[in-house]
Amino acid sequence: MTDPAFGDPLLDPLFTTPAAAVAFSPRRRLQGMLDFEAALARAEARAGVIPTEAVGPIAAACRAELYDLGELGAEAALAGNTAIPMVKHLTRRVKATDAEAARFVHWGATSQDAMDTGLVLQLRTFADGLDADLGRLDRALAELADRHRGTPMIARTWLQHALPTTLGLKAAGWLDALRRDRARLAAAGERLALQFGGAAGTLAALGPKAMPVAEALAEELDLPLPALPWHAARDRVVETATALGLLAGTLGKLGRDLSLMMQTEVAEAFEPAAPGRGGSSTMPHKRNPVGAAVLLAAAVRAPALVSGLLAGMVQEHERGLGGWHAEWQALPDLCRLVAGSAHQAAEIVSGLEIDAERLRADIGITRGLIMAEAVTMALGERMGRMAAHERVSAASRRAAEEGRSLRAVLEEDPQVTELLDVEALDRLFDPLNYVGAADAFVDRVLAGRCG
């Protein structure tokens, strides 16, 4: 029997991915612990701690499909964690085939060793799936930035029209943040390590064989061997959680920008169209930003999950009470949530529809007022910055009051036309002539100069 792709068939397809759902399914959680137990037996046999003959029967019983999840869960409710009943049922199953081998199940380990190492194995599997979507998003954003480096659009500050920019620079901004997130996740992943300390973090039960077993176990599982067990030091796990929280925020920023650009009154960009995507139950004309909604929902939910994991770091002495337990559902929930957001973001950007004409048209909504700074700087070189600022400010107020273009008002001012001829005004009122270092910034991001 295998787990269904989704635990919640109604909502999981919207908010997570099949790969993330499987990586953190109950059966996968159990298999992670069983993988630890099988590797432990192999490592201890290599170190001469248990008989080599015990490895086969133990490893053969370390298959999650052999166990009843409901039965284990009911016993975990009494035991306080899932590893205790797992070890009991594993031992019983091994004993049914080899009583001698059953003596060496879970030898010298503790419940948290199995659970934490199992979690690290789950996170490693999860990271592969997440990075595949992030890589796809990275490539789509890079292509968008390069293709639209010369596509002018309005930059908005405080939701108001500010100055011209380019769509390429906007996409490069999304990409730059994403690459920092990927770097953080990769760095956090490198610090996820084997958990193996025994009852109190000393591996006392293994005596002089402690380090040889630990080294062999790390090798068996292809995990880093930390300097010492980290039962109550949760920074390794929470570092991954905080990196995921930051990624959720980055994707939420992308979702916010795109949803605003999709507004009917703006209509500059659109999520990819597909049958049944973004429709309304009552309004046939609607094209809703459903992907952006997932990105925004994840950005809303992720901080609470991350804060709970941060709060759980304050653990007691060598093994914590409650804080460790708080991770068991919060971290998988966070992983599933962010995976769904990343997948939706990759889907959106890969098929994003851009209306370049509308982008340019929206630049003209203020009738040239957004070019006031450009004119001020040009005039300032000849009459001084303050005098130029006062003159252009007065012209801007008049243009707004009369519903006319700023250029038309300026052309009626002899002090302006004496210093700026028609060709100069043409240059100043061309948005692409006032995007500064936008192209250079795009180049820097595409060249990988993120920081």
**Packing angle, helices 83-97 and 26-46, rounded to 10:** 60
Q: Which of 357, 359, 350, 346 is nearest to 156 (CA)?
A: 359
Distance, CA of 153 to chain centre: 27
Tokens of 225: 């061997």
Catalytic-residue membership of 280: yes
Instruction: Count, in order, helices (H) and strands (E) of the chain.
Output: 20, 4
Catalytic residue chosen out of the listed positions 27, 136, 319, 404: 319
Give the ranges where 148-279 is alpha helix by DSSP (H): 167-190, 210-221, 235-261
Is the Cβ–Cβ distance between 382 and 176 less than 8 Å?
no
Q: What does residue 193 show for φ and ψ, rounded to 5 degrees?
A: -135, 170
Q: Is 414 exposed, middle or buried (0-12, 13-18, 19+ CB in 10 A)?
A: exposed
Q: What does residue 253 show for φ and ψ, rounded to 5 degrees?
A: -60, -45
Catalytic-residue membership of 319: yes
CB hemisphere CA count around 348 (13 angstroms): 29
The residue whose two tokens read 């450009």 is 374
Is the Cβ–Cβ distance between 206 and 49 less than 8 Å?
yes
Tokens of 450: 């993120």
Q: Provide the 8-state DSSP code for 267.
A: -
Is the Cβ–Cβ distance between 296 and 346 less than 8 Å?
no
For residue 353, the surrounding DSSP H or E stretch is strand 353-354
- Strands 152-157 and 160-166, by their bridges, are antiparallel
Q: Provide the 8-state DSSP code for 449.
A: -
Q: Which of 285, 307, 288, 287 is nearest to 296 (CA)?
A: 288
d(CA 80, CA 84): 8
Is the Cβ–Cβ distance between 311 and 343 less than 8 Å?
no
d(CA 298, CA 20): 14
Catalytic residue chosen out of the listed positions 92, 147, 280, 382: 280
Active site residues: 280, 319
